[in-house]
């Protein structure tokens, strides 16, 4: 039974739809999401530490030697997983860890956005904090961490605040960090990306003191990633970084982040009872993609291939070959099969069974008639 609250909601929904319709008729449009500016720097780590947009080069920490007094790397190597390039490092320094620094030849300002896709391989020896970003390049603990709270790993900007979502320490993470210095007080926001590719806000905190503004050294911004120059056993010992992008003097909104990083999804094809052939390979992409044909020559005895469906019993959404599809999340498409109707057959004599039965009945009637005539003639003769 609907409550008065439900009725009010329905009424307000009706008014909203009516208002949108009137606005459309009058040519009034709703404000569109601001266009997403091109990142100032894009690092995809495909055998290079250079930005594909500006030529800025990331600086790996120096090689470890003797007793380190700063972050250092023992080894580093480029690699690829599923076509996704990465740069992997390891450090022998348990106190300072390793990684790289980012220092563009300018100041990024009090507003900025960066995206970082990474994975910790070896956690800090302190087992309570893993420093992701060192903001001040000074011997202090301020910075962005994956920290442990009540036995759970959470994203935290120390000493301001932390998120509530729990992560595993070696989980592959996609993060977007946005500092907006145009509002009062300034805000520091962290967004995380789900498996579907969508960004959602993990938490937002005020930063009136400017703790999340990167340090300026020699007129240039400098940010340290994964190392800890405070000698507190909170540095990451080894890890991989897959993607790093930076927008200077720009605070992107959640909508802009999702526009920049369109949702990624996988379409998997299922043979659904085929007796021969193979299903098309799965495809992973963002945006629209074309539905595959029967590229693997799927066949099912007594059936013909009839396209794809979102349900195994064919009662879902049907997708025709070469049609466009843009799902909001990963899906499986099942092959649809149409039974081949049985062909009509005739007896060897060329006469079908119904005709054969009619012939037999007619013959019986003829014989009965002849018998009646013979009996009648014999009776007449005797008389």
DSSP 49-63: -B-TTT--B-EEPPB
4/173: higher pLDDT = 173
Residue 356: strand, helix, or coil = helix
Nearest 5°: CA angle at 160, between 107 and 229?
60
pLDDT of residue 9: 38
- CA distances for 226 relative to 49, 140, 232, 250, 374, angstroms: 16, 14, 13, 23, 118
376/159: higher pLDDT = 159
Specify the fold of 41-260.
Jelly Rolls (2.60.120)
Least confident residue range of 41-45, 180-184, 370-374: 370-374
107/365: higher pLDDT = 107
* pLDDT tens digits, 258-286: 888 765 678 899 999 999 999 999 887 66
Burial class (CB in 10 A: 0-12, 13-18, 19+), 156: buried
* pLDDT classification of 150: cutoffs 50, 70, 90: confident
Model-level pTM? 0.64
Separation between Cα atoms, residue 264 and residue 280, nearest integer Å: 19
Secondary structure letter of residue 306 according to DSSP: E
The position carrying tokens 């601001």 is 34
The separation between the first and the last C-alpha atoms of the chain, rounded to the nearest angstrom, is 97
pLDDT above 50 for 7: no
**Superfamily of the domain at 264-339:** Listeria-Bacteroides repeat domain (2.60.40.4270)
**Are 108 and 246 spatial neighbours (Cβ–Cβ below 8 Å)?**
yes
Separation between Cα atoms, residue 370 and residue 368, nearest integer Å: 6
* pLDDT tens digits, 125-137: 777 889 999 886 5
pLDDT of residue 141: 74
The position carrying tokens 């930005």 is 51
> Kind of pairing, strands 264-270 and 331-339?
parallel
Separation between Cα atoms, residue 358 and residue 282, nearest integer Å: 60
Highest mean pLDDT among 71-75, 229-233, 326-330, 374-378: 71-75
pLDDT of residue 328: 64
280/326: higher pLDDT = 280
202/287: higher pLDDT = 202
> What Rg, from alpha-carbon coordinates, does the chain have?
36
Measured in residues, the chain has a length of 383
Write down the domain spans for the chain.
41-260, 264-339
């Amino acid at each position: 039974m609907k409550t008065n609250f439900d009725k009010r909601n329905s009424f307000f929904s009706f008014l909203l739809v009516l208002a949108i319709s009137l606005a459309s008729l009058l040519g009034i449009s709703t404000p569109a999401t601001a266009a997403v500016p091109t990142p100032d720097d894009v690092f995809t780590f495909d055998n290079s530490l250079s930005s594909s947009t500006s030529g800025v080069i990331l600086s790996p920490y120096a090689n470890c030697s003797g007793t380190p007094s700063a972050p250092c790397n023992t080894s580093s190597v480029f690699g690829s997983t599923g076509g996704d390039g990465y740069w992997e490092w390891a450090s022998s320094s348990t106190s300072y860890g390793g990684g790289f620094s980012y220092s563009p030849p300018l100041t990024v300002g009090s507003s900025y956005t960066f995206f970082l896709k990474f994975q910790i391989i070896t956690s800090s020896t302190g087992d309570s904090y893993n420093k992701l970003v060192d903001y001040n390049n000074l011997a202090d603990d301020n910075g962005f961490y994956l920290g442990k709270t009540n036995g759970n790993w959470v994203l935290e900007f120390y000493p301001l605040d932390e998120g509530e979502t729990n992560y595993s320490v070696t989980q592959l993470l996609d993060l977007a960090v946005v500092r907006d210095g145009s509002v009062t007080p300034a805000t520091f926001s962290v967004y995380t990306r789900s498996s579907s590719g969508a960004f959602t806000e993990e938490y937002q905190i005020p930063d009136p003191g400017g703790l999340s503004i990167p340090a300026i050294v020699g007129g240039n911004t400098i940010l340290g990633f994964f190392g800890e120059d405070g000698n507190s056993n909170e540095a990451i010992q080894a890890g991989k970084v897959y993607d790093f992008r930076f927008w200077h003097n720009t605070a992107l909104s959640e909508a802009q982040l999702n526009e920049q990083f369109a949702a990624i999804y996988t379409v998997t094809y299922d043979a659904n009872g085929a007796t021969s052939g193979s299903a098309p390979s799965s495809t992973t992409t963002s945006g629209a993609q074309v539905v595959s044909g029967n590229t693997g020559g799927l066949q099912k005895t007594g059936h013909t291939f009839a396209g794809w469906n979102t349900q195994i019993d064919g009662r879902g959404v049907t997708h025709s070959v070469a049609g466009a599809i843009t799902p909001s999340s990963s899906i499986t498409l099942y092959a649809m099969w149409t039974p081949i109707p049985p062909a009509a057959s005739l007896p060897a004599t060329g006469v079908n069974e119904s005709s054969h039965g009619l012939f037999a009945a007619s013959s019986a009637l003829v014989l009965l008639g002849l018998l009646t005539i013979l009996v009648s003639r014999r009776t007449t003769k005797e008389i």
